[in-house]
Chain A
């Protein structure tokens, strides 16, 4: 099973709402990633978790708060977002670097619209 699942598929939220994006994988991967992708642009890395510890935070505003409750789950908590945060949010997982194959497997994404 090489599937990464993400919920919800679509999300519309106001600027004062609090919502969470969820990501799950059962491939035994110990590295998980959040990316943000705007239309016609490549993905931008937001956060990396390695062995359930935050290893990279790409200077993301604090209105985005990641959480890795266990090795299979990754959450992204959203609060007080701005309209410019509207984008496709992608989750990915991989073996940590140094274990041979670091192919990243992506979920289908959550399409977020902030009004």
Chain B
């Protein structure tokens, strides 16, 4: 059974720091991996999607990497800003005919001005 874990559960850093959020999964037979952001009481915003054949994806100050063999992904945020404060969720795309996302519990990120 695929399980997704995110560490740490919460992180508080001063503005301007570079930071890394971690995601690990137990079954390497994934379709893809997605990182999402969720602001309190809101829906989810897709940040990056990495296909299983890819090693990384970049969007602005965000860089996500994928190492399927070790079952790990990282989300790197450069030059953090208070507006980056949110919960970040990692989700693994799993299954072919019954494709669905298996979710981590999220990392709550607070960027202090």
CA–CA, A107 and B45, complex, Å = 9
User: Which residue in A48, A88, A108 is a CB contact (below 8 Å) of B100?
Assistant: A48
Instruction: From A13-21, A64-72, A77-85, A96-104, give the one contacting chain B.
Output: A96-104
Interface residues of A (CB under 8 A from B): 4, 6, 41-43, 45, 48, 55-56, 88, 90, 92, 96-98, 101-109, 111
- How many contacts A-B (CB < 8 Å)? 54
CA–CA, A107 and B96, complex, Å = 24
Q: A54 CB to closest chain B CB, in angstroms?
A: 12
How many B residues touch the partner, as a band?
Answer: 20 to 34
Please give, as numbers and ranges, the residues of chain A lying within 8 Å of B101 by CB-CB distance. 45, 104
Q: B82 CB to closest chain A CB, in angstroms?
A: 21
Residue of A nearest to B49 (CB): A103
Please give, as numbers and ranges, the residues of chain A lying within 8 Å of B34 by CB-CB distance. 103-104
Please give, as numbers and ranges, the residues of chain A lying within 8 Å of B91 by CB-CB distance. 42
Instruction: From B36-44, B60-68, B70-78, give the one contacting chain A.
Output: B36-44
